[in-house]
Structure 1
Amino acid sequence: MAHEQGRLLPWVTGEGQPCYLATDGQGYLSRVADDMERVQLGMAVELLGHADDMLTDYKATAAQLRYLGHRMAESLRDVHRIAVSRGARMAEPVLD
């Protein structure tokens, strides 16, 4: 279904709607999307490290932990969008 709409991009519209790109995967916007995915995945790894540190710090305040939770939710949405996009672009399995 998503594959028929084009590539799901790693960003949304100003209204929060998904963005799609009709592409063969070789164009400029495809490369921008690939770069953005790499940045988002790298940020998720950094956030996990920060979360590990903060969750072992018993002096972390409720406000700090709420902020961390919000950033983790944002990151999880990004990583989920990347997974959906990549899964939709995988070749369909051949059934014998």
Structure 2
Amino acid sequence: MHHSHDTGAATRPRLLPWSTSDGRPCYLVGDGTGHVSRVADRVESVQLGMADQILAHAGDLAGDPTATAPQLRYLAARLAESLRDVSRIARSRGDRLPGARNGGDFGEEREA
């Protein structure tokens, strides 16, 4: 979703919780109140909730002496995906703190 409107708001670009089609980071320029910001907030909330569930499952499976290698490999893959999501959320929020330096403007979107 690339919008050509520029609100003129002097805000830091927000690292979004998804990537461009070629895998690059996707940033949003806006005042943080538009539709894309609200969608990003919901996606981040879902990702954080999933991370909590995966962590609980990891604790259970790690303590299970009958856990199989395929189960553990599957869990490791889900943990890696979740850690990648949570890391991106942390970077995004950190970049928007006062005095933070932003990571760039790849895949920049603008809110209308």
**How far, CA to CA, are the matches of 1:16 and 1:63 in structure 2?**
28
Q: Distance in 1 between matches of 2:99 and 2:60?
A: 41
Residue 28 (structure 1) aligned to one of 27, 35, 50: 35
- 2:37 maps to 1:58: no
The normalised TM-score by structure 2 is: 0.76
| TM-score (norm. length: structure 1) | 0.88
List, as ranges, runs of 4+ consecutive aligned residues in structure 1 with deviation greater than 6 Å. Answer: none
For 2:85, the equivalent position in structure 1 comes to 78
Could you tell me which residue of structure 1 aligns to residue 56 of structure 2? 49
Shift of 1:16: 1.8
SS at match of 1:54: helix
Aligned residues: 90
Unaligned 5+ runs, structure 2? 1-10, 101-112
Q: CA deviation at 1:28?
A: 0.5
Please name the residue that 2:95 is paired with: 88
**Sequence identity (%):** 60
The one-letter amino acid of 1:39's match is: V
Which protein is richer in helix relative to its size? 1
Structure 1 gaps of 5+ residues are none
